[in-house]
Amino acid sequence: MADIQVINETPISMLDMKKKLESIEKRDKELNFRAKKVKEYLDLFLTKESKKQEELKKKIQDLGIPRLRERHITKLLDVIPKDMDSLKILFSGENLTIKQEDLEKILKVIKE
């Protein structure tokens, strides 16, 4: 069996995934079973519109919080936590420590 080598790994938001699936569906006329299931899931749980999500992403990046990576921001955009507990839970599985004041800044930006 051939060895598979990952060249680049980039986090992708649910909204971007939905756009990619729509372009694949246009190209191929029909999605396979797994892609259909993913599209159904995205239709159920997608919350923000494209323009709002990109503005929110830029605002979070502009906060300049150390150690906050692209994958963390993508996770924030997908989940959109409403309170401090939800925000802390989002980062609980990560090897990441963010100051309380930085968490409050993120939450403030999300609530706007």
Tens digits of residue pLDDT in 10-42: 888 888 888 899 898 999 888 889 999 998 888
**Phi, psi (deg, nearest 5) at residue 30:** -155, 145
Is there a contact between 81 and 56 (Cβ–Cβ < 8 Å)?
Answer: no
Using pLDDT thresholds of 50, 70 and 90, give the confidence band for residue 47. low
CB 73 within 8 A of CB 54: no
Query: How many structural domains is the chain composed of?
Result: 2
Residue 30 and residue 69 in one domain = no
Q: Are 77 and 57 spatial neighbours (Cβ–Cβ below 8 Å)?
A: yes
pLDDT at 34: 92
Determine the structural domain holding residue 65 and report its residue range. Answer: 50-111
Q: Do 67 and 29 belong to one domain? A: no
